[in-house]
A and B are shown apart, each in its own frame.
Chain A
């Protein structure tokens, strides 16, 4: 056995990744013509310039929505993958350190306060998401029990619970006919409000976060080892973990501040990617990003086309994600390996 086998595998992974990217591009283009106008399902328009209404819908409604689905899918799975490697635990995702609950609390607070503009919801969700991460981190430093990862897990649980109870109080006092509905819809997730302004407001930071995570794709392997081992092979694990935790959290909170809570993507896509590309994150991380983008694009298109009313994307991702999760766990049990 020699390095040629390794090279062949790398080549195979590159081909699969390119194939997935190609499928993503083709589907993105096709789904521009999927929707409920002028009739349900696919409608191909031969000459777009002659149909201004259709052109407007495609350019200003469907295109930003498709871009947002791709971006959200990529960052949520990349963040999930990052958290799993950093915590050396394949069962975690960004909600793990209270990020999702913090963001949900922030969004609900602004909705109830009456200034429910999307930019305010974005800012507040991002702020409280980061606050939750910071609180979990500093609380973990204060704990005098167990190792670093265990302390982070415990502080994440505590911070999540605090923000959950805060969210409960907000829902209790929210005006039932409007605010409570807005909060409920935000928590179910959805891309129906997406527009170019929202995309432009988050795209530079989210793309930056994706690039930072991508640049760490091989190093993430090392960060899943014990901190002392990672240090012994020349890493600065504390610095690298802090950078990755920050970018994964910022990318996630910014995205869910627009889309609402979308669960399971960050948990399931890294698993599926490892099944396809192997555990080496050099291939599995980009694979996870593309698969996350594909998954959310498909879920969103299903959600906005199959029924007369839109199905919130968070409900679909939860249903499909949980089903895949059960299948993976059953198969894993049969294989008897992690």
Chain B
């Protein structure tokens, strides 16, 4: 089943700047897709369109037009993991993870015991359950990223949109996040993430969409599209893809 379908998507900012031009792609349920490109290629704009934050005709989610989804219904289908978040109040990790339960609550409702149990499970999944009552202001950068993931996991949606999920992490935390994402992939979640790191895209994704100056350069399985030629065209600099044993290294 297709979880996301885009047909001839274009987007121009109110200032007149063209961000995306004629993008078409289909994402199968359970696949992990990297939106790969240089800064300003249109990755974040495409993510905003998928989220419904910016509007464009021609996007379907589970074969239903995105525009026909209600807000809460959309929140139950798709979760966002932003790059960072406002942390100006000392919410506990549990408070913050519970925010992911909002699409399941009534208009003015608040979390139930069942929601609390789900939030604890999400915290357990990212390895933060023992810190559930700690303040989010006391977390390290890596723990913040894990917390963002736990909120999205508590949302129990089929599709997760991740904006540069490992860009500000040290190698240890990067590995932690990647393991969690691999685990989510095993649970048949559809993961769509933006990155400019070709190694990460190759390591994590099943499919890669390369974006260059608002155009879709190519889309396919990573083995098909992540090649020396395509990457060199994408970044306009000499790139090399080489295999060492079972590993693939891009530099």
Chain A residues in the interface with B (C-beta under 8 A): 1-3, 5-7, 85, 88-90, 215-219, 221-222, 224-226, 228-229, 231-236, 274, 278-280, 282, 337-338
Give A93 to B92 CA distance when docked, in angstroms: 24
Residues of chain B with a CB closer than 8 A to A228's CB: 48, 51, 53, 80, 82
Binding site for A on B (CB under 8 A): 48, 51-53, 71-76, 78-80, 82, 85-92, 94-95, 99-100, 102-103, 105, 108-111, 113, 116-117, 120, 129-130, 132-133, 135, 137-138, 155
With a cutoff of 8 Å between Cβ atoms, the chain B residues found around residue A231 in the complex are: 51-53, 71
Contact B120 A224 (CB under 8 A): no
Q: Residue of A at shortest CB range from B91?
A: A279
Q: How far is the CB of B76 from chain A (nearest CB, A)?
A: 7
Complex Cα spacing A282 to B112, Å: 13
Residue with the highest number of chain A CB atoms closer than 10 Å, among B78, B99, B108 = B99
Residue pairs across A and B with CB atoms within 8 Å: the count is: 107
Our pick among A85, A88, A218, A224 for the contact of B109 (Cβ within 8 Å) is A218
Note all chain A residues with C-beta closer than 8 A to B51: 228, 231-232
Provide the residues of chain B in CB contact with A89, threshold 8 Å.
Answer: 88
Identify which of B79, B95, B110, B129 contacts A232 (C-beta below 8 A): B79
Assuming the contacts A88-B86, A225-B85, asked whether A233 and B120 have C-beta atoms less than 8 A apart, the reply is: no
How distant is the Cα of A274 from the Cα of B91 in the complex, in angstroms?
10
Central interface residue in A234, A235, A279, A282, by most chain B CB within 10 Å:
A234
Min distance, Cβ A153 to any Cβ of chain B, angstroms: 14
Which residues on B sit within 8 Å (CB–CB) of A218?
A: 105, 108-111
Q: Are A338 and B79 in contact (CB under 8 A)?
A: no
B74, B91, B117: residue with the most chain A Cβ atoms closer than 10 Å: B91
A85 to B99 CA separation, bound complex (whole angstroms): 14
| Contact A235–B89 (Cβ < 8 Å) | no
Q: Tell me if A222 and B80 are in contact (CB < 8 A).
A: no
Determine the distance from Cα of A291 to Cα of B35 in the docked complex, in whole angstroms: 50
